[in-house]
Amino acid sequence: MKNYYFDTVIEKEVLENYLSRAVTAAFFIHTKTLEDDLRALKNMGVKFIGRASGIWEPDEDDEEHFRKSGYLADRVHEIDSDIILQACIFEAVYRHIENFKVPAYVFEAFGLETEDRGFHFEKMRFPQKPRGFIWGEDGALPDINELETRLWFYYRATRYIDAGYEALHMGQIHLYTANDVGMVKTAELIGMIRDYARIHGRRHKVLLDAHSHGISIGGKLLLDYHAMPFTRYPLLDRKGEKLVLVREGFSEGGENPNGWSAEVMPYLMEYDNWGGKVIGDFERYSYEERAWMDWWGYDQIGWFANQDEEGQRHFLEYTCKWTAINNVNAYFEIPFRRSLEKAAVYMKRADNGEMDFQDYYQLNEKSPACPMGFSQEETVKRLWESGDDLRKKAGNPPGLLDYGAKNIYDEATGMKLPEKIVVYGSFQPYVGAVKNDSNSEVTRMYYIGDNTYTLSVVIPFAGEYDYAISTYGTLSATYCYDTYPRSGSSNKGFFRVNKDNTVVRFRYRFMDNVVTIEQFED
């Protein structure tokens, strides 16, 4: 019998027990099949429901949003009071939030005089307006260095805590903290959120994660555990759109916010989404071309949902086993509900027999109560029953790889340096690596001291190539043409080689995030 008890702090074993029974249920507050969802959650024995509430673009009525969030939490806790629900605070703000009033308690928490006003959208944007950070006139990636952004984040965190949520996913934390050198203001904000939960939380605790390999300041971790999506490698020698997963990334160790220490922190891995499809017309590309376009032209959950029922069952089993043996500190966050957007699946409904588009992946068994379920509920239940034993029997040793820069800290800020930095891009096949492999050992950079990493390669043929730098081999924060981070594999810088057999040296400085490229033709 697993232990799920915690109050104020959570022990490592209890945290791992929760993560081992985690699902992602994106924007669950908007489900149209709640009664069957509750049945399925209870049947499977789910203990952690990720992304259950949150906004990317704001709902029209914020009070109604939090009413729905609280209602969902109450209904879930009716079936199992131990379940942790997670809400999201994403790296996106829109002008509509100016219609949401800043509560008096938020001003007071920051030592400010109370004002009768809404949030100021303009005051949240990056003043430098880096490319990709400003989305027209009405949207932007927020800058945590700006006080107004911190007011917004604190407001949302505390409202979710009041609604019964005990975990917060903080989105692409390495993006919105780009101007916060040493993450000083970020750490202060997170401390304030934790203090609020200690008083107002259901069990006097809020768990924080983000898409991050880990943030260690003076050996102390900012987050309770980490989260990251999977990375794939397409298979071209099998019929269909097959792929395998790639061992990548890292989960930083140190002193956990709950007081215990470990060399590697627990973390969640998930099928991520970013629009469903990444190309409009599949017919324009060859089979081989599409294989390398993210997940066969889809985002991760889009590809998965568009496999047939047996293909989904097979890949769920593969992912569960792969995670258990390759990353014994990682746990697969099962897709219970996830947006498909452009990858919507055309399927027959179980309530009226008509064909319809399903724009959310739903794990539930297909029935009149969930007419467009994908029927993988029993698959996950079976895998969970056997997965814990496999992890213990066959899991590879943790912390087996040493990437250099081990236990090195920036003197000015106390930030721990990454142990692995990779330069990747279209040049990689010309130096013996796989194209765009952000996890490649072949193009891993060497740490040479003074916060600096370097790698020299020979480019055999003249031409233009793209590149970017990834930290820990993940794509949560990549750098190239300026000092601001971007997420994903599509943001690249370019360099041109004018002569065959030119030596190219890449340099990357941590903290100031300066990337330089030198060429030696002779």
Quick: pLDDT tens for 414-434. 999 998 899 999 999 888 888
Chosen domain end from 332, 359, 394:
394
pLDDT for the residue 403: 52
Measured in degrees and rounded to the nearest 5, phi and psi for residue 495 equal: -140, 150
DSSP H stretches of helix in 344-440 = 377-394
Decide: helix, strand or coil at residue 267. strand
Distance CA 374, CA 364 (A): 6
**CATH classification of the domain holding 298:** 3.20.20
The CA distances from residue 306 to 43, 323, 373, in Å, are: 25, 22, 13
Q: How far apart are CA 211 and CA 213, in angstroms?
A: 7
Structure confidence at residue 399 (pLDDT): 54
- Tens of pLDDT, residue by residue over 484-510, are 999 888 889 999 999 888 889 999 999
Rounded to whole angstroms, the Cα distance separating 89 from 160 reads 10
Tell me the residue range of the domain where 290 lies. Answer: 12-394
**Which residues, 6+ apart, have CB-to-CB distance to 494 below 8 Å?**
464, 465, 466, 467
332 and 431 both lie in a single domain? no
Give residue-wise pLDDT tens across range 101-159: 999 999 999 999 999 999 999 999 999 999 999 999 999 999 999 999 999 999 999 99
Name the pLDDT band for 302 (thresholds 50, 70, 90): very high
Q: Domain boundary residue among 376, 394, 412?
A: 394
Inside any domain, residue 408: no
* 439 and 371 housed in the same domain: no
Q: Backbone dihedral region of 229: left (phi > 0), alpha (psi from -120 to 50 degrees) or beta?
A: beta
Statement to judge: residues 384 and 487 lie in one domain:
no
Distance of alpha carbon 190 from alpha carbon 196, whole angstroms: 10
Do residues 358 and 467 share a domain?
A: no
Please list the residues that pair with 507 across neighbouring strands: 454, 516
Q: Are residues 364 and 438 in the same domain?
A: no
Q: What is the mean pLDDT of residues 276-303?
A: 95
Domains of the chain: total: 2
β partners of residue 84: 48
Q: What is the DSSP letter of 202?
A: T
357 and 487 part of one domain: no
- Same domain flag for 242 and 292: yes
Distance CA 98, CA 121 (A): 6
Same domain, 72 and 116: yes
* Residue 290 belongs to a domain: yes
Q: What is the pTM of this model?
A: 0.89
